[in-house]
Amino acid sequence: MAYNLLKGKRGIITGALDQNSIAWKVAEKAHEEGATFVLTNAPIAMRMGEINKLAEKTNSKIIPADATSVEELTTLFTQSQEVLGGKIDFVLHSIGMSVNIRKKIPYPELNYDFFQKGIDVSALSFHKMMAVARKLDAMNEWGSIVALTYMAAQRVYPFYTDMADIKAMLESIARSFGYYFGTEKKVRVNTVSQSPTKTTAGTGIKGFGDFFDYADAISPLGNASAEDCANFCVALFSDLTRMVTMQNLLHDGGYSTTGVSDKILQKLGISESAE
C-alpha cells in the first residue's frame, strides 16, 4: 500500500545490483511512494548486474559513477539535477566492498592495500559524495541522506574482518558531516544498521548462512528483510522524520538488545528452567 510519502521528491540511489540488493528494493519502494530519482553504480558493477531492468521498471535514468572519484561524483550530482529538474531531496549510499573478505584473508593478517581500497570505496566515498553535494549546493533544505551499515561497527564479528572498521568510519562520517549539513541546510544524515540480509554481497561472506540463522533465532521479530529496510529508508527520506539526524538507527528485529533467546537455548540443548 502506497502513501505518497515521497511525492514530488527527487533522489539519487546508489548500489542497486540485482533484485537481491537493498538498494534495488529502496528504488522500487521510492518509486511506489511517488519519488523520481537517478540510479547510479560503478561501471564494472553495472556490467555485472541488472540495473537496466530496474531503470525501466521505475522510469529512472542511469548515470554511471565511480564513488571514489570526486570528478565523477560531481558529474553525477550535476547531471542528476538536470535530469530531475531541481535539487536533490534524498540520497541512498549503499556501497560496500572488501577485497580482504573476498580473498578470505583473516583480520590479523589483513592486506593493507586491500584495506585502503575498502576504506576508499565503502567509507570515504560517503564523505566525498556529501562534500560534492555541499560544494554544488545540490541538496534541498530538509533533505535526507542515508547510508547502510552493520552492527560489526560496534561488536566483534570475526568473519566481517576489515569491513567492521570501515563501517565504524562510515558511521562517524555520518555524524560529523551530519552536523555541518544540519546547521547549514537542515539536511539530515543517518545510517541504518540492518540485519544480516541475503544480498549478493552478504551471501559472499564465509559462514553467512549460519550467522543469518543465528541472528534470526536471537531477534524477537526475526531478521529484517531487504523489503523492510526499504520501507525504513523511505520513512527516513520522507518529511515524517525531519528531526532525525546524526543517528545510527538499528533495524534488526530487536537483535541488538537481546542477550539470548529461547530458540538459541533450545538449539544448545539448554532447558529454559535450568538454574
Using one digit for the tens of pLDDT, what is the confidence trace for 26-79?
A: 999 999 999 999 999 988 777 766 899 999 999 999 999 999 999 999 999 999
At 245 the pLDDT is 98
- CA-wise closest residue to 55 among 80, 73, 31: 31
Pull the grid cell for residue 72. 565523477
Q: Looking at the predicted structure, is the pLDDT value of residue 125 above 50? A: yes
Whether the CB-CB separation of 118 and 100 falls below 8 Å is answered with yes
Cell of 32: 511506489
Question: Beta strands 139-149 and 88-93: pairing type?
Answer: parallel
Of the candidates 201, 221, 229, 240, the residue with the CA atom closest to the CA atom of residue 97: 201
Q: For residue 49, what are the contacts with CB-CB under 8 A and spacing of at least 6?
A: 16, 17, 18, 21, 41
**What's this model's pTM, rounded to 2 decimal places?**
0.94
CA distance 52 to 46: 8
pLDDT tens-digit map of 137-187? 999 999 999 999 999 999 999 989 999 999 999 999 999 999 999 999 999
